Structure 1
Amino acid sequence: MKIKYIAAGMIVSAIAMSSCSDFTEIDAKGKNLLNRTQDLELLLNADYSLRATTMQEVCGDLIYAYSPLSTILKVPVKTTNSIIMGWDEAGHDEKLPELTASDAWYSGCYEYIGRIANPILSMVDAADGDGATKAALKAEAYVVRAYFHFLAVQKFAPAYNPATASHTVALSYVKEDQDIKSPTEPVTLDVFYDNIIADLDAADELDALPESAVNQLRFSKPCLYAIRALVHMSMQRYDLAAQDARRALDIKSTVADYNSMLTTCYGGITGAPYQAILRKKLECPEDYFADYNIEFYNTWLNVGQLEPGHLIHDRFNTLNASYEGLMDPSQMMIGVPGLFMTMDMDSSWPVIGLRSTQMYLVLAECAIGEGHYNEAMGHLDKIRVNRIDPSVYAPLEGSVNDKATAIGHLKSTALGENMMSVWSFVDKKRWTQLDDYKETYRRTLVEIDMTLTPESSLWVFPIPQNVINNNPNFKPYMN
């Protein structure tokens, strides 16, 4: 169960707007209330909260269910759950569009763009306030707009391929000067990504973001560089990605040591104590940007792929640990024995967060592409030494001499970092375009054999019906 918390200071729903003028006017007096920089800044104190469950299910990370999988997957009439969990391509292509009345990921991304980024960009120059504050607000608004466009396109458009991006249709890139009386028009994937980069470059040129934000719910300079690094990775611009990753790490390179972040928990049956990771909300030193998310009753499918001694495997707070080995929670709940079921009510495992560890993964992948395997393993070791039991840990640097082995270690380390977030889906989808990285995933659940190929249509989700019904320029699958 994903539970979200409301960030302090979030503005009231009176700013639920459909255009910049509608967003910011009160009809009774006709007076714009966001005419000072301190008022505009309130827009940035938002609860940036998105749920990636369906993407995590598609990429094989988890199953989000409370009833037997045999009931969910073997239904006579296809459902969203049976299609997504069952890797059902035919159901995805033929049935899922009509089942998708709305989509919280789509509406959330464009809501943050329309309610936060674009109102600030349209009004900040005319607002009362000093120039430095205006520059900082404008820079953060550019980052917000770029980031949520980037997150939106991950779900609803094909992976970026430089050879096909110019004739692959993406989504609309909505700016502050959008005419609200005209339906938005989708642009090609290359234009969409170019707009993301342009917004991030505009924020960079302002040089007004703080190196450390007032809290981890706000965007800072390392966030800008981290987002641009991830965008360049999607565009296969590895030199630029590595450059931005280094710029982020030059400001903040800390990797949290999970070995020293353990707390004592107590079993729910005999009360026996056990150790579990406590990743405190808004306090994890590796986070550039964080959103609130706890892991509760999510069933992980691939935790067994982590290397021996990994604390996500051995010290994550799970129902398995709470039941003290006396009962199997996954057998009881979903009818499949031996799976990890999360029960961490006290930590925060961000879904769309940005971390220093992502930048080390970027540098490692870029180094592998250059054939610099020792350098790549050195970047992974900076993460691994803080994730693996010291009695088991052994450095990879100096032990890897071939690309396939290096990629295997990269994928294993990335899994441990990303499986609670959207980034596992983003990486696996991006890798479908890379010959050395793409793979076919196979699994069997309740006697159903499933296959997910790099070419599968499952990597792209349908545009929700409420968007199509209001915009003739959209269709369920844009390509």
Structure 2
Amino acid sequence: MNQKMKKNLLTTISIALLAITAGLSSCNDFLSVVPKGQKIPTTLADFDALLRDEYGNQRTNVTQAILLLNDKFESASNLSYYQLYSANYNWDENADRIAFNHSDEGTYYNGYAAISTSNLIIEHAAEATEASEADKAQLIAQAKILRATNYFVLANYYADTYEEVSAASKLSVPLITSADIDAPYVQVSIKELYDFMLKDIEEAIPNLRPAGATILHANLGAAYALSARIHLQMGHFDKALSAANEALKQNDKLYDWTQFYTQYKTQIEQVNVYTNAPSPMGYDYVENYNFRHGVSIYRSNESNIRTDRATRFEPGDAKFASRWKIRTVGADTYYKSITNGFFNYGGLTTTEVYLIKAECLARQGDVTGAMNILNTVRKKRILPTVYADLTAATKQDAIRLINRTKGNELILSITPFADRRRLNKEEDYAQTLSKTENGKNLSLSPASHMWTMPFPQGAIKNHGNGSIQQNVSK
């Protein structure tokens, strides 16, 4: 193995361990933190093991986005201890979140760790032994989907949402395409980053297969689903619809949550019992195109939900009722998570693609078609005793109903946050969030600077071979 290859691998491992080595942030350059005794990959199986590393590369931490949306219940003790949590959760527009963001670095470093692994595979898997050319090309393609997935999260977290009129002039996040130690990089424009993600997907598709080795490996459906997500975010509705249709050709299954609720109804409704049923949203969830964890692979429960957030689920929503139950502990009342297992927060699913297709149809004026798609999803969610088809008189009404369901379906993932950011840019769909907290009426404007998260201080101070400019004032 050549020296450059060794340096590449060590960089990948170093970045993956940044969260663990946070105490070393006083070093001049975080990329100089190099662990010892690591194996150098030579076979395709070695490279594959890097990609499927669940803790390092297959998780998506979007904690602050979920807090800003108020899509989870946060304890008073956490809000008191973590200033950044409190600022986002309570929509404190005067808070200096840049100063507070000195430890909440998981989104940034987890994302770039997976990108570094992807870069290593893309650069060197073609040299791997014990594999066919087709298998090597497939793994490289899967690494490109992983890279694009992580760039989508980073772009929709640390930079403004995509708008055609300003995408070429506003900065996004650092674009790193090499796993070399001290590889130079540029903080590119929003347009450049979106173009790069789409290029990765376009190059990957010819080498992907209908199924990967595991559900952690992107397949053809995952590539089309990611393309649909990115084009929707860009407002390219025709292209998003085309990609959604291609994804649904690969997998169009929907899980029947009404049957799940019926199966576990006695346990779910048992008084004072809050751990009942196994999560069906794990590796073998029929809706999966691919699977990625949320904050951690070791967490076996979902986050708890605020009582006011729970009211935005439809009556009779079996998926909601199967996952959360109201509970009071001391002064706190919230909806407690009641399923155990794994949850696909970072991957792509058929539900998301169905709802992308529905919105695109509505945007084209096919309101009836859009509502038919929406109701196709709802029939697998709303209990038959409550269910009734939803109708819409206008495309605006249809899009609001579609995104209400989508926000509920994909809660605790990056998608509701990304959707709310893009919809806030349109007068018909912009929304002011409001709540009452400790007797105070609070609100968050759709135009607030808080919809863009500040880069962590570690990234700004120890920026490696490039420079990073904050995309938000505070």
Residue 117 of structure 1 aligns with an amino acid whose one-letter code is: S
Deviation at 1:410, TM superposition (A): 1.0
| 2:218 counterpart residue number | 219
User: In 1, Cα distance between the equivalents of 2:269 and 2:358?
Assistant: 41
| 1:323 counterpart residue number | none
User: In 2, Cα distance between the equivalents of 1:146 and 1:274?
Assistant: 36
Aligned pair partner of 1:63 in 73, 94, 97: 73
User: In 2, Cα distance between the equivalents of 1:457 and 1:26?
Assistant: 39
Aligned pair partner of 2:349 in 355, 358, 376: 355
1:311–1:264 Cα change, 3 Å: closer
Aligned length: 435
Q: Which digits, 9 at most, give the CA deviation of each residue in 1:58-81, with x for residues without a partner?
A: 123123225497xx4xx9xx9212
User: In 2, Cα distance between the equivalents of 1:408 and 1:181?
Assistant: 46
Counterpart mapping for 1:136-285 below 5 A: 136-176=138-178, 180-181=181-182, 183-204=184-205, 207-262=206-261, 263=264, 266=267, 278-285=279-286
Counterpart mapping for 1:381-460 below 5 A: 381-396=375-390, 399-460=391-452
1:417–1:476 Cα change, 3 Å: same
Deviation at 1:266, TM superposition (A): 4.5
Q: Which digits, 9 at most, give the CA deviation of each residue in 1:427-475, with x for residues without a partner?
A: 1112122222211111111112211111111111111111111226213
Q: Which digits, 9 at most, give the CA deviation of each residue in 1:194-223, with x for residues without a partner?
A: 11111111102xx22221223322211111
1:82–1:271 Cα change, 3 Å: closer
User: In 2, Cα distance between the equivalents of 1:445 and 1:61?
Assistant: 14
**Could you tell which deviates more after superposition, 188-197 or 209-218?**
209-218
Aligned pair partner of 2:91 in 76, 87, 94: 87
Contact 2:274 2:338 in 1 (8 A): no
Residue 368 of structure 2 aligns with an amino acid whose one-letter code is: N
Residue 338 of structure 2 aligns with an amino acid whose one-letter code is: M
Contact 1:52 1:351 in 2 (8 A): no
Deviation at 1:182, TM superposition (A): 5.3
Contact 2:175 2:187 in 1 (8 A): yes
Q: Which digits, 9 at most, give the CA deviation of each residue in 1:396-424, with x for residues without a partner?
A: 3xx32223321232122112211132211
Instruction: State percent identity of aligned pairs.
Output: 23
Q: Which runs of 5+ in 2 are unaligned?
A: 1-8, 17-30, 295-299
Contact 1:441 1:452 in 2 (8 A): yes
1:234–1:269 Cα change, 3 Å: closer
| 1:7 counterpart residue number | none
Q: Provide the aligned C-alpha RMSD in A.
A: 3.1
Q: Which runs of 5+ in 1 are unaligned?
A: 1-11, 321-327
Deviation at 1:299, TM superposition (A): 2.7
Deviation at 1:296, TM superposition (A): 4.4
User: In 1, Cα distance between the equivalents of 2:170 and 2:256?
Assistant: 42
1:97–1:435 Cα change, 3 Å: same
Q: Which digits, 9 at most, give the CA deviation of each residue in 1:230-258, with x for residues without a partner?
A: 11111111111011100000010001000
User: In 2, Cα distance between the equivalents of 1:285 and 1:478?
Assistant: 39
User: In 2, Cα distance between the equivalents of 1:425 and 1:188?
Assistant: 20
Residue 111 of structure 1 aligns with an amino acid whose one-letter code is: A
Contact 2:274 2:336 in 1 (8 A): no
